[in-house]
């Protein structure tokens, strides 16, 4: 399955060929690279590729070095590019490098120290070079991210570097996405129609359909041939969940279904699933897949209800924004809060990952449905959708709040202005499904959209 945590970053520090002083630029390289390594390593699961093997300085100065850097970065599977300036920098080679790689690109350089009073020239003129390099990137048609010219220990560097890496993770997931589609959408759900050809032609997103017959066959195969795998999964479940209104056969069928979907996703190399959940599994195995969808999410395979393919894509983007550390959930925008005009119920019939359950919640599985409230706190909501060939990514932030208990999985959230949110979502191109994840990711999605040919949208 797709690894939402791992990302590989190429760093190509640059200096001007003859001014300001190359000696000063070489001296600047050490602290700059050390600080970037420190920050990236703190994030975890980041592989760093430098250019020390390309030339003696490990700096990008000559255009003739660009092909070797491109070759190195491609061989190492670089997902993002950082272009730190050690002095004014060299516009042409960095522009050619970024253009050739076509990955999210970060332009940044540290703030110059106080100019020495007794020296004929300033040490580096880094900010001046950043202005020049930004225009060069624009001329090469390279979208890029910029972090303000700041000192190495400035909090903004750590904050915005983290945002860039998360945005690059979103772009990586988006460009390599394969969606496992289980059967068809419910007939009444016109809202989840998608243009499969357009997704592939515009973005390279592949939808891999699996017919009902193959799904049924795979579940039966697991039931017949993999009792040990089923027993192991059931043991894990019984240590965590309380089953209610369910026979042992149904619980076993749910386990077989989960394992079968993992097998299909592995077989077809898919990182996210969109599934039929109304009739197929109830008619053939006497179960509903609601709880299974959430458990798959907890195991790194986000699964969307009601064959909402755009919802599945949204889940993949959200999981990439969290870098695989916080599981997303697909919810219905259901009802307004009875007492709070800015609050809304995010609910679904039982497919939220149990890792999100509120502390102390009774993790009950009632008739195949998860039944627990999830924790509140800071939550980002997003939705990828389209109309008339125009693709949008809605993203904004809210916060969990208290509200009346209800069935299934749910959380009440408070927004800054619910009526504004409601009208934005109603006028579209969105539907009643939205993806949530705990944390602050609106800025991540705004940055990612620079590289995705998708318009960032918010209330």
pLDDT of 220: 98
Three-state DSSP state, 49: strand
What average pLDDT does this structure show over 185-190?
A: 85
The DSSP secondary structure of 82-96, one letter per residue, reads EEEBSSS--HHHHHH
Exposure letters 112-134 (e unless 16+ CB within 10 A, then b):
beeeeeeeeebbbbbebbbebbe
Q: Are 307 and 366 in contact (CB under 8 A)?
A: no
Rounded to an integer, the average pLDDT of 330-335 is 98
User: What is the C-alpha to C-alpha distance for residues 60 and 71, in angstroms, rounded to an integer?
Assistant: 14
Q: Which residues of 282-302 are buried (b: 16+ CB within 10 A; e: fewer)?
A: eeebebbbbbbbbbbbeebbb
In percent, how much of the chain has pLDDT > 90? 92
pLDDT (tens digit per residue) in 356-394: 999 999 999 999 999 999 999 999 999 999 999 999 999
Q: How confident is the model at residue 67 (pLDDT cuts 50, 70, 90)?
A: very high
pLDDT of residue 117: 67
Note the pLDDT tens digit of each residue in 75-125.
Answer: 999 999 999 999 999 999 999 999 999 999 999 999 988 777 666 666 778
Does 7-175 match 178-457 in CATH topology? no
Q: What is the pLDDT of residue 362?
A: 94
The ranges assigned to domains in the chain are 7-175, 178-457
What's the pLDDT at 21? Answer: 77
> In which residue are the tokens 């309380």 written?
242
Give the whole-angstrom CA distance, residue 360 versus residue 143: 46
CA–CA separation, 11 and 268 (whole Å) = 33
- Residue 455 pairs in a beta bridge with 392
pLDDT at 402: 98
Q: How far apart are CA 297 and CA 293, in angstroms?
A: 6
Average pLDDT, the chain: 96
Whole-number pLDDT of residue 121: 66
Is 178-457 in CATH node 3.30.70.270?
Answer: no
Share of the chain above pLDDT 70, in %: 98
- The pair of three-digit structure tokens given for residue 126, joined into one six-digit string: 């880094």
Measured between alpha carbons, how far is 291 from 250 in angstroms, rounded to an integer? 12
For residue 119, the model assigns a pLDDT of 61
Residues 6+ apart with CB under 8 A from 219: 253, 256, 257, 260, 284, 285
Give the separation between CA 128 and CA 130, rounded to whole angstroms: 5
Cα gap 370→120, rounded to integer Å: 71
SS3 content of the chain, % helix, strand, coil (to 5): 40, 25, 35
Give residue 434's Cα distance to chain centre: 15
Does residue 274 register a pLDDT over 70? Answer: yes
Q: 305, exposed or middle or buried, with CB in 10 Å at 0-12, 13-18, 19+?
A: buried
Which pLDDT score is estimated for 25?
86
Q: Which residues, 6 or more positions from 74, have their beta carbon under 8 angstroms from its beta carbon?
A: 101
Under a CB-based contact definition with an 8 Å cutoff, are residues 349 and 292 in contact? no
Tens digits of per-residue pLDDT, 313-327?
999 999 999 999 999
* CB burial string 82-95: b at 16+ within 10 A, e below: bbbbbbbbbbebbb
Tell me: domain 7-175, CATH 3.30.70.260, correct?
Answer: no
- Residues 6-51 have pLDDT tens digits of 999 999 999 998 877 788 889 999 999 999 999 999 999 999 999 9
Cα-based torsion angle of the residue sequence 353, 359, 362, 365 in order, rounded to the nearest 10 degrees: 0
The confidence score (pLDDT) of residue 235 equals: 97
437 touches 352 (CB < 8 A): no
Local structure of 344: helix, strand or coil: strand
Please give the distance of CA 179 from its chain centroid, rounded to a whole number: 14
> DSSP character for 190?
G
Q: Provide the token pair at 185.
A: 């959408």
Encoding tokens for residue 176? 């390599």
pLDDT at 120: 61
């Amino acid at each position: 399955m797709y690894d939402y945590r791992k990302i590989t970053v190429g760093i190509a520090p640059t200096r001007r060929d003859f001014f300001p002083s190359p000696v000063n630029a070489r001296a600047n390289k050490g602290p700059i690279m050390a600080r970037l390594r420190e920050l990236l390593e703190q994030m975890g699961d980041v592989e760093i590729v430098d250019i020390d093997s390309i030339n003696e300085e490990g700096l990008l100065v000559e255009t003739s070095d660009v092909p070797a850097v491109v070759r190195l970065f491609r061989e190492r599977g670089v997902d993002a590019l950082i272009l730190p300036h050690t002095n004014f920098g060299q516009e042409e080679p960095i522009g050619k490098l970024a253009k050739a790689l076509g990955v999210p690109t970060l332009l940044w350089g540290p703030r110059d120290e106080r100019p020495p009073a007794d020296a004929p020239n300033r040490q580096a003129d880094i900010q001046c070079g950043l202005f020049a390099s930004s225009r060069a990137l624009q001329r090469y048609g390279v979208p890029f991210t910029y972090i303000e010219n700041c000192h190495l220990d400035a909090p903004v560097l750590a904050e915005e570097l983290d945002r860039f890496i998360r945005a690059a993770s979103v772009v990586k997931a988006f460009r390599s996405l394969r969606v496992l589609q289980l059967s068809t959408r419910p007939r009444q759900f016109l809202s989840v129609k998608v243009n499969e050809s357009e997704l592939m032609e515009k973005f390279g997103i592949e939808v891999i359909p699996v017919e009902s017959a193959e799904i049924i066959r795979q579940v039966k195969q697991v039931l017949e041939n993999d009792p040990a795998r089923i027993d192991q999964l059931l043991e894990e479940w019984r240590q965590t969940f309380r089953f209610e209104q369910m026979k042992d056969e149904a619980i076993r069928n749910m386990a077989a279904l989960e394992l079968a979907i993992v097998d299909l996703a592995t077989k077809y190399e898919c990182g996210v699933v969109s599934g039929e959940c109304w009739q197929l599994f109830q008619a053939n195995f006497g179960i509903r897949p609601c709880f299974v969808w959430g458990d798959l999410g907890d195991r790194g395979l986000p699964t969307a209800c009601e064959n909402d393919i755009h919802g599945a894509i949204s889940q993949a983007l959200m999981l990439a924004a969290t870098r695989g550390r916080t599981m997303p959930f697909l919810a219905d925008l259901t009802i307004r809060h009875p007492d709070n005009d800015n609050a809304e119920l995010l609910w679904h019939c039982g497919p939220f990952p149990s890792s999100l359950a509120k502390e102390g919640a009774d993790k009950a599985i009632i008739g195949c449905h998860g039944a627990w409230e999830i924790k509140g706190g800071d939550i980002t909501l997003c939705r990828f959708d389209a109309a008339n060939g125009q693709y949008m990514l809605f993203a904004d932030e809210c916060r969990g709040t208290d509200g009346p208990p209800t069935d299934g999985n749910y959380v009440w959230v408070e927004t800054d202005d619910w009526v504004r949110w409601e009208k934005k979502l109603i006028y579209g191109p969105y539907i009643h499904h939205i993806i949530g994840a705990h944390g602050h990711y609106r800025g991540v999605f705004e940055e990612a959209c620079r590289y995705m040919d998708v318009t960032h949208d918010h209330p």
